[in-house]
Structure 1
Amino acid sequence: MDLISPKDLKKLTEYTNDVCVSIFIATSRSGKEVLELHDKTRLKGKWDECKRKLENKGVAVEKIKKIDRPIQDLLNDSDFWRHQSDGLAIFASDSFFDKYTLPINFEDYVYVSKEFYLKPLAPILSGDGKFFILSLQLKDIKFYEATRYSIGEIKIDEITPSSLRDRVGYDYEEKNLQFRSQQEGEGHAIFHGHGAGGRDHKDEIFKFYKAIDDGLNKLLENEKAPLVIFCQDYMFPIYKEANTYNNLYDTPIPGNPNDVDIIGLHSKAVETVESYLNQEEKKKLKNYDDIPLSEKSAAVHDIIPAAFQGKIDALFLENRGEIWGTYDEENMKVKVQDKQTPENTSLMNLAAVKVLENKGAVYLVESPLMPEKEGKMNAILRYR
């Protein structure tokens, strides 16, 4: 996945051109849609729509051809279409091209203006609901930082043992020791062994996990995000006993780490921590009515200047809504217009970009769930 970083956001927000094209399509990770290249067909349809818009705007044929070339290269890249996530975002001009394969379900959309359209990326860029994943196997451990929309591996080899063998110092799979587990009663594992015995082997696993916990504590010293464990069922009670991190998630990710790649891991992790994700958004939506009038607004004419000044803590945008207009930053004047023109812009996109640049959160909300339903844009201010 080509995840978007703050550096990418800066690059996209700072870029301007007479013609900037933004295309969003839903894509499929697997199945019939991938085999039959439905995603490729969907992009071709949206690009054809975009070309018609460009032609209607009177854009020069040569400029359209320059925008077209990398998109055609992408359409002809069969390997690319076999490795998709949930959505594809493309940003192009005659001198710029970038694409992002992302774990977010976009609605198919085309935007042509003098700037790129970043509103659909708000859930990713807001970074709500960070958590950590520890993938545990006796021969290998991996550690990840994730959100609902992103995952990235963090190398921990220098602060933790990489395997039980590293911790124990001998071949823990010695022939006369058979270690296996099975669930009985209330899910307790049974350890079978010869020589040192199953109890000793469990103790060695505990020491291995304790060494991992000691190393992670150096990394997570000031963190509060949940730590979710991905391991086979019998391992979790042992790690839970060894753990000292104060926010260990009570439910492990089910399954065997050997059976999934990083995309599959992320999907299973998000499903496991669903109740935790987006807590901040839910809390702010719930408490919006109780916030003093001086600390919130549903007026576009107030929200846009506040976004430029870094005064917005949380911005709620109607997911399928749009507001067209212009903003005079020098005089802090907003003019709302009925439809898109060559001279105006999406005020919702403008507000989203400025709030994200100033480290605020942007939430895309369905119309019935907007805090103030008469407005397509609601904001909680950082200060009066």
Structure 2
Amino acid sequence: MMYEIVKEFPNPMLFEEDAPYISLYQPTHRHSPRNKQGPLLFRNLIKQIEDSLQTDYTTKEILSMMNPFYEIRDNKNFWDNTLDGLAVLANRNKCIVYRLPRPVQELAVVADSLHIKPLIRVFQSADIYQLLGLNRNNFSLYEGNRYYIGEIEIDPSIPRTIVEVLGVQYSESFHTQRSYGGSGGQAIFHGHGSRKDEIIKDTEKYFRYVDSFVLETYSKVSKLPLILVSLDEHHTIFRNISSNPYLLEKGIKASIDSLDTEEIREKAWEIMQPFYLARTTEIVQNFNNARANLSGSDDIEEIAQAAFENRVALVMIENERIIPGKIDDSNGKIQLGNIKDPHCGDLLNDLAKLVLKKRGEVVVLPEERMPSKKGLAAIYRY
């Protein structure tokens, strides 16, 4: 069994029922010499997993399940290309790997379900945005959050450049030729508008196309905030013609080509952070109102039962909290346990998976932003 490096979250594997599941998380480093520490920590975490598996599985079964971990351990190229964190999730038949753009706490767990809380924190929607890099000749799209930004792959068949979009309408020439039938047949050129006027007209036509494409193909689907990155003069033109309600008033006034990925991420997060804080404040207030109206709770037994019945619209989970146990898939009842037991996991993690599976929203927050000291808080659909 080989491992696969993935970016999609949630991955379909997260909802499969094929225990035992192995979840390994650790911080990593991008640059030498600190990235040399990664394999050493990985070996220690592998040992913890092997010790846990020995409770219920034969040596042959353990070797089979651990094989992709050994491949990662011994792959020098893998450790030379790490980011800030690593997640390795596996069962008997599949192993997926996330290279994470933010550090995570080290963790090695064998249980009946995958531990996904750290991944939710990285990929959660509360701080995700989309970003449009635009000039008068081309455009690009990105999606990011506080820790990561990556370019969105657009179908190659989609027109991207101003030439592809406008075609014969593209005003490369700003004069028309008119010939008068004099004795010499001389061609006389008459200007129809200034070069500047024609450039503005073409730019507006192109920007209208970009605005419509982004709105219909991405913004309406994702409903994510959109940050514009372009030169100052292009901000003015694009905002005047845009009908995208998700376009933020504040943008980045620079050429996208003049910024590297990290600079884009930093500038985008400066814009997004107030929206993220306002969003989490709003969620907490909505929970307080819901609890007052008996449509919210911070009791784990009540929330687990409500999630099982598809009544949880949103659940907040404390980032570093672990409550050993699991949720019975057949009835929604909770069972407390020991985190070292291969058949036991983290109740909060199981709850997050259940809510995601039922199309609810999961928001992972630091302890200081949680509205409850119990590690979780849920808002019900009804």
Class of the TM-score when normalised by the shorter of the 2 chains: 0.7 to 0.9
Structure 1 contact 126–360 (Cα < 8 Å) conserved: no
Q: Structure 1 residues 229 and 330, CA, compared in 2 at 3 Å: closer, same or farther? A: closer
- What corresponds to 2:17 in structure 1? 15
- Please tell me the residue identity of whatever aligns with 2:14: L
- What corresponds to 2:210 in structure 1? 212
- What corresponds to 2:136 in structure 1? 138
- Please tell me the residue identity of whatever aligns with 2:13: K
**CA distance in 2 between partners of 1:225 and 1:115 (Å):** 30
- What corresponds to 1:285 in structure 2? 284
**CA distance in 2 between partners of 1:221 and 1:91 (Å):** 31
- Whether 2:41 is the aligned partner of 1:37: answer no
Q: Structure 1 residues 216 and 338, CA, compared in 2 at 3 Å: closer, same or farther? A: closer
- Please tell me the residue identity of whatever aligns with 2:76: S
- What corresponds to 2:53 in structure 1? 54
- 1:128 aligned counterpart, secondary structure: helix
Shift of 1:254: 4.9
Alignment of structure 1 residues 324-335 onto 2, 5 Å = 324-330=324-330, 332-335=332-335
- 2:252 aligned counterpart, secondary structure: coil
Please, which runs of 5 or more residues in structure 2 have no aligned partner? 174-192
Q: Structure 1 residues 263 and 98, CA, compared in 2 at 3 Å: closer, same or farther? A: farther
Q: Structure 1 residues 361 and 278, CA, compared in 2 at 3 Å: closer, same or farther? A: farther
Please, which runs of 5 or more residues in structure 1 have no aligned partner? 173-194
Structure 1 contact 145–154 (Cα < 8 Å) conserved: no
Shift of 1:356: 0.8
- 1:341 aligned counterpart, secondary structure: coil
- What corresponds to 1:119 in structure 2? 117
Alignment of structure 1 residues 310-329 onto 2, 5 Å = 310-329=310-329
Structure 2 contact 130–225 (Cα < 8 Å) conserved: yes
- What corresponds to 1:186 in structure 2? none
- Whether 2:6 is the aligned partner of 1:2: answer yes
Q: Give identity over the alignment, percent.
A: 20
Residues 45-89 of structure 1, C-alpha deviation per residue, up to 9 Å, x if partnerless?
32233334334x364322332233222322333333344333221
- Whether 2:358 is the aligned partner of 1:358: answer yes
**CA distance in 2 between partners of 1:308 and 1:337 (Å):** 20
- What corresponds to 1:69 in structure 2? 67
Structure 2 contact 324–347 (Cα < 8 Å) conserved: yes
Shift of 1:263: 7.2
Shift of 1:325: 2.9
- What corresponds to 1:191 in structure 2? none
- What corresponds to 1:241 in structure 2? 240
Residues 301-360 of structure 1, C-alpha deviation per residue, up to 9 Å, x if partnerless?
211111111111121222222212354455554343466434433211211110111111
**CA distance in 2 between partners of 1:79 and 1:254 (Å):** 38
Q: Structure 1 residues 21 and 199, CA, compared in 2 at 3 Å: closer, same or farther? A: same
Structure 1 contact 2–102 (Cα < 8 Å) conserved: no
Between structure 1 and structure 2, the one with the greater Rg is: 2
- 2:275 aligned counterpart, secondary structure: coil
- Tell me the TM-score normalised to structure 2 length: 0.78
**CA distance in 1 between partners of 2:243 and 2:366 (Å):** 40
Structure 2 contact 88–96 (Cα < 8 Å) conserved: yes
**CA distance in 2 between partners of 1:244 and 1:326 (Å):** 47
- 2:83 aligned counterpart, secondary structure: coil
Q: Structure 1 residues 169 and 229, CA, compared in 2 at 3 Å: closer, same or farther? A: same
Shift of 1:3: 1.8
- Please tell me the residue identity of whatever aligns with 1:21: I
- Please tell me the residue identity of whatever aligns with 1:95: N
Residues 262-309 of structure 1, C-alpha deviation per residue, up to 9 Å, x if partnerless?
676556534432222365433111343232252112222211111111
**CA distance in 2 between partners of 1:341 and 1:132 (Å):** 41
Shift of 1:154: 5.3
- What corresponds to 2:180 in structure 1? none
Structure 2 contact 171–198 (Cα < 8 Å) conserved: no
**CA distance in 1 between partners of 2:266 and 2:63 (Å):** 38
**CA distance in 2 between partners of 1:340 and 1:70 (Å):** 22
Structure 2 contact 324–338 (Cα < 8 Å) conserved: yes
Between 122-131 and 248-257, report the one with greater CA deviation: 122-131
**CA distance in 1 between partners of 2:349 and 2:37 (Å):** 29
**CA distance in 2 between partners of 1:111 and 1:87 (Å):** 17
**CA distance in 1 between partners of 2:240 and 2:314 (Å):** 39
Aligned residues: 354
